Structure 1
Amino acid sequence: MPPPNTPEEGLIATTATLALRPLMSGDPTATTLDLRALEYEDSVDENLICPICRVPFISPVITNCDHVFCHRCIVQAHALNPVCPVDRLPLKLVSETRPAPKIVHNQLDNLSVKCPNSSRGCDLIVSRSLVENHVARYCDKTLVPCPHPSCNKSVIRKDIGKGCLHYDVKCEYCEQVRQKADLEEHQDTECPNRKTECALCNIEYVRHKQEEHSKECPEAQTSCKFALFGCEQLVKRWQLEDHALKCAYRVVGPVGEQLAELRAELNTLQERDRLKDRRIKFLENRGFPLPTPTSSEPMSDINLPENSSTHEDSAPYESRDQYFLSLFEAMESKVERLSTALNEVEGRHSMMLFNESSQIKDQLTEIRSTMGVLGMHVRWLMNFRLQERGRAGTSSPAMPNSFSGNQANIIDDNISRRMIVNLREHPPRL
């Protein structure tokens, strides 16, 4: 079974790169699949439609005025007129655009699309984030180069093991000459004699798909579903349900189904056991120390040698895929341990920052309190000084105008001394 069709990471370029890179059809990094030509299974939300090309966003970017466009559309529109295509405000492509939020990318990736090879017979419906990987690696209907070294044509992936199919043959139904690679499509859609009528159910079907029709024909004779338990009667397919209700072996049917499930589960467990035995033998052959059942030490990291892939004969695996699967599982366990260690370090650093910030906050609070007390002292002294000056002015109303400046300074000094003495004897209450 192939690994999950996970999309490749890092395919979304920055806006600056998109603005500076020429949009040329001959770009070797461009994908061969046109995402704009995809056929969507359901209706797409209008908020996910590009206002320029009117298809769901492809690598969306957002402007400072909160409008979203396909990156290729906005680059082409900006080259013609450096304004936002929606509100017509001036727009700087490099500094005023950025990749769209992650939620927009997630919504676009989750859209269900039909396989681009649906016209060739692929009926798979897959999320848009996986369609490129499906077409490039797994779809049987994808056109790939012909395996023959001297042939420069293409064949579908499922026929790649048949060798070169680019030679002329005659259609057995209409005698027209077609290439072997195109014969099946010709018999499906073009051959004038491609259809015939079933002699049992009178339903038309494509001639070269007679075997498929025989598996679905309601009038065809088929075995009872309890044939594994001893029923040898043949009935028409449309009568299977009625026969199953009257079959003499229907009593043992549920028990047989349970036995079949148990047998399948037993086969699965046996396969797992064989796989574990192969891994143990491989580790023993490589000289890795394995912990005993009574040992309390956990199994250490398995550092596989780099040149281990060159010694396939000594590995106890049945195929190279199983061997690389074991390597992948070892690397996956290491990644999990590193992730756990990083989370622990991050937690410790967060706690250290929290403790340091708490101390700083306490010190700032103490400083603010001290500054408040000092401010109250200063205000009280200023008020007291003003009151003393007012009293001195009212106590000498008949002061002559010829009062010298030195005498005034002496009076101020006396008032200051009295204020200091009063403060010492009667400190302010806060």
Structure 2
Amino acid sequence: MPPPNTPEEGLTSAGASTRIHLFPPLPTVDLKALEYLDEVDENLVCPICRLPLVAPTITNCDHVFCQKCIAQAHRLNPTCPVDRLPLKLADETRSAPRIIHNQLGSLLVRCPNSSFGCTHVVARSLIEDHVTRYCGRTLVRCPHPACDKKVARKDSKKGCLHYAAECEYCEQVYAKVDLEDHQDRRCNNRMKRCELCETEFVRHRQDEHAKQCPEAETTCKYASLGCTLLMKRKRLDKHVQTCEYRVVGPIGDQMIELRAELKALRDKDQQKERRIGFLESKRFAMTTTNTAEGMADFTLPGTTAPADPAPYESRDQYFLSLFETMEAKVERLSSALNEVEGRQSVMLFSETLQLKDQITEIRSTLGVLGMHVRWLMNFRLQERGRVATSSPNISGSFIGTQDNNTDSDPPQQLAHTIREHPPRL
């Protein structure tokens, strides 16, 4: 019995040669129909369908294909479509390396619902998540339990829109869910001409055009500081450059920010006052312990409560405030933990530097010692050579005896020589 997740796992009991290869699951979004923002590298294009690879599969001859494409081609001809060599689909194919999957996943694509108005551009690896979870143009089930039709996600909170509605421009009847698309694209009377700038726009987008019409009158951006002039929007940029109140414009921006901060502080102060008033009212008998027994002192639903009105509208608000307090404490603890981790990292880094310096010093010392050892070995070899060549006319037996004696003499000679001629390094 082979171990799990090995190539032998999946063999049939009858001894068949087919193996089960685990390829990535096919996505729900049709990746072959996607519109890519940039030109795709030729190395990431399938040689069969000539489209960017989907579930790339590599053969033993190092050719990469789409999983479906190579399976269909192998059913027609069991050879590699590129070099025409015999190919066993089950034994000689596997999922492509991770780097190919990463390159394909980083390609920028447009949302499949771009024809319905979605303008998002995301990486291909995130397109399925965008379409199935976040895209407002994706069709989902109607929120009404008795309706089995679909509606765009952005309209799912408006209730059931599958009822008849009349177009106010052409007086034709359409489903409410399709009425906006009809007025945007197909209604014969959908267009209207602006009386000021003579620009055509969709009728039910009139408010949006009014905010952009260059001929419409608007106030100066410094109106809050005292500028009372009205002018056409196309002249607004030129006026801003010469407006008398532009000098105090930065001060006005700071005042707006300060007002926003003041409002936030007031709201915070009111919330704290409500909490203090609530605790002073003693509607809940608070305890000083943090044990589970302290929860028993709270006034539970169904029990009699004091007649004094609580500063909170409900008990849920009080518990929500406690939750917010705990969340703030957790955030402070998290920041403190991050600070401790930073200090530990700095200490570890400084100690590592010291260790590196010590290792470098030890290495230099070892190098010096190695030089000494090599010099001493060379000197000893030279001394042996001198002893062997000092008396060439002596007989072989005497030489053998002399060789035996020289084994004990060189240490003394070496010591004398070192004292007379120290090594130079």
> Given the alignment, which residue of 94, 97, 101 partners 1:100?
97
Q: Report the residue type matching 2:97 in the other structure.
A: A
Q: For 2:264 and 2:96, locate their aligned partners in 1 and report how far apart those are by CA, in whole Å.
A: 47
Q: Are 1:15 and 1:61, in contact at CA under 8 Å, matched by a contact in 2?
A: no
- Percent sequence identity over matched residues? 50
> Given the alignment, which residue of 223, 227, 232 partners 2:228?
232
Q: For residue 250 of structure 2, give the secondary structure of its aligned residue in structure 1.
A: helix
Is 2:251 the partner of 1:246? no
In structure 2, what is the equivalent of residue 53 of structure 1? Answer: 49
Deviation larger for 126-135 or 163-172: 126-135
Deviation for aligned residue 1:96: 4.1
Q: Report the residue type matching 1:314 in the other structure.
A: F
Q: For residue 316 of structure 1, give the secondary structure of its aligned residue in structure 2.
A: helix
Q: For 2:60 and 2:107, locate their aligned partners in 1 and report how far apart those are by CA, in whole Å.
A: 26
Correspondence 1:343-422 to 2 at 5 A: none
Taking a change above 3 Å as real, the CA distance of residues 155 and 313 of structure 1, as seen in their structure-2 partners, is farther
Deviation for aligned residue 1:222: 1.5
Q: For 1:150 and 1:257, locate their aligned partners in 2 and report how far apart those are by CA, in whole Å.
A: 53
Deviation for aligned residue 1:317: 7.1
Greater relative contact order (Cα 8 A, min sep 6): structure 1 or 2? 1
Q: For 2:6 and 2:258, locate their aligned partners in 1 and report how far apart those are by CA, in whole Å.
A: 54
Q: Report the residue type matching 1:182 in the other structure.
A: D
Deviation for aligned residue 1:20: 4.0
In structure 2, what is the equivalent of residue 213 of structure 1? Answer: 209
In structure 2, what is the equivalent of residue 200 of structure 1? Answer: 196
Deviation for aligned residue 1:216: 1.0
Question: TM-score of the superposition, structure 2-length normalised?
Answer: 0.60
In structure 1, what is the equivalent of residue 72 of structure 2? Answer: 76
Deviation for aligned residue 1:287: 4.1
Question: TM-score of the superposition, structure 1-length normalised?
Answer: 0.59
Q: For 2:145 and 2:9, locate their aligned partners in 1 and report how far apart those are by CA, in whole Å.
A: 38
> Given the alignment, which residue of 316, 323, 327 partners 2:321?
316
Q: For 1:46 and 1:286, locate their aligned partners in 2 and report how far apart those are by CA, in whole Å.
A: 69
Q: Are 2:56 and 2:101, in contact at CA under 8 Å, matched by a contact in 1?
A: yes
Backbone CA RMSD of aligned residues: 5.3
Is 2:208 the partner of 1:184? no
Unpaired segments ≥5 residues, structure 1:
1-12, 24-28, 276-283, 289-310, 345-419
Taking a change above 3 Å as real, the CA distance of residues 159 and 247 of structure 1, as seen in their structure-2 partners, is same
Taking a change above 3 Å as real, the CA distance of residues 101 and 231 of structure 1, as seen in their structure-2 partners, is same
Q: For 2:216 and 2:192, locate their aligned partners in 1 and report how far apart those are by CA, in whole Å.
A: 16
Deviation for aligned residue 1:79: 3.2
Q: For 1:14 and 1:72, locate their aligned partners in 2 and report how far apart those are by CA, in whole Å.
A: 23
Q: Report the residue type matching 1:97 in the other structure.
A: R
Q: For residue 57 of structure 1, give the secondary structure of its aligned residue in structure 2.
A: coil
Q: Are 1:16 and 1:94, in contact at CA under 8 Å, matched by a contact in 2?
A: no
In structure 2, what is the equivalent of residue 222 of structure 1? Answer: 218
Is 2:72 the partner of 1:85? no
Is 2:34 the partner of 1:38? yes
In structure 1, what is the equivalent of residue 114 of structure 2? Answer: 118
Deviation for aligned residue 1:138: 1.2
Taking a change above 3 Å as real, the CA distance of residues 192 and 15 of structure 1, as seen in their structure-2 partners, is farther
Q: Are 1:15 and 1:97, in contact at CA under 8 Å, matched by a contact in 2?
A: no
